Amino acid sequence: MKAKKNPNVEVGRNSSLYFAIGLNLMLFSTYLLFEHKFYDSDTLVTEIVQVDDFADEDIEIINLNVPPPPPPAAPAVVPEDIKIVEDMIEVQETVVESSEIGQSDVIADVVSVEEVVVEEVEEDIEVPFSVIEDIPVFPGCEKGTKAEKRACFEKSIMTHVRKNFKYPQTALELGMQGKVFVLFVIDKNGVASKIKTRGPDKLLEEEAARIIGLLPKMIPGKQRGRAVDVPYSIPISFVLREE
């Protein structure tokens, strides 16, 4: 026969409720302990500051012997009677004669003017290579028509560049290459002058100018039978070839 338990006297009936209440009480107690602050008792030390009474001290008075300022200057005395003295010296007026010449005046002396010799100054005239009547003649191109001389001139210039071309060692080591445009003038004496260069680097420009500076003396170009300056331009290419 199974024994019957009275539900009113069962111990474990509300155990979960009691556990929750106990847990909350423990958490609340822990919170209060953490939040509680403890203060150290400070020891107050009172010091007495003594201040001397300086207001009662007598301050010594120093007398400075400063000289008094000088008295003001006396006003200038103006005489009451002013005597006017007449100037007895007669002044002679200077008459200035006019230097202008009128129509009634006669020129006595005739100044002769010598003849002035005017010297003609020859100007350096530049005539483009494409329109000049007689182009500069490169040595060895004296024979033939104007067209043949022109072709011989251009061919001789290219031959001269290839013959005297030398790649700068520094530019070769640095791998510099490019095209240099050279502009120069074949003057009325047949000499290459006024050389100007424009290129990617100064080393290449200097080499191109050196090559043009080695051009031989030519027969100068002529316009209407007169020797003139003839500008000419040529590109020089510096190209590195892979071996």
DSSP string covering 145-202, please?
A: -HHHHHHHHHHHHHHHHHHH----HHHHHHT--EEEEEEEEE-TTS-EEEEEEE-S-H
Judged against a pLDDT cut of 70, whether residue 98 lies above it is answered with no
| pLDDT value, residue 36 | 74
Choose the weakest-confidence range: 17-26, 40-49, 124-133, 230-239. 40-49
Domain membership of residue 110 (yes or no) is no
| pLDDT value, residue 65 | 65
Q: Encode pLDDT of 143-161 as tens digits.
A: 889 899 999 999 999 999 9
Query: 148 with 210: CB under 8 angstroms?
Result: no
**Residue with more model confidence, 232 or 95:** 232
Domain membership of residue 62 (yes or no) is no
Residue found under tokens 């010297």 = 119
Judged against a pLDDT cut of 90, whether residue 3 lies above it is answered with no
Domain membership of residue 137 (yes or no) is no
Judged against a pLDDT cut of 80, whether residue 138 lies above it is answered with yes
Domain membership of residue 33 (yes or no) is no
Domain membership of residue 229 (yes or no) is yes
Domain membership of residue 16 (yes or no) is no
Provide the domain count of the chain: 1
| pLDDT value, residue 208 | 93
CATH number of domain containing 212:
3.30.1150.10
- Looking at residues 163-191, what average pLDDT do you find? 91
pLDDT band for 22, please (50, 70, 90 cuts): confident
Q: Tell me the residue range of the domain where 185 lies.
A: 146-238
Domain membership of residue 95 (yes or no) is no
Its sign, for the CA torsion 11, 16, 19, 20, is negative
- Looking at residues 168-175, what average pLDDT do you find? 89
CA dihedral 125, 126, 127, 128 (to 10 degrees): -170
Domain membership of residue 119 (yes or no) is no
Share of the chain above pLDDT 90, in %: 35
Judged against a pLDDT cut of 80, whether residue 235 lies above it is answered with yes
Q: What is the mean pLDDT of the chain?
A: 78
Q: Encode pLDDT of 26-85 as tens digits.
A: 888 888 888 877 666 555 444 444 445 545 555 565 555 667 777 877 776 666 666 666
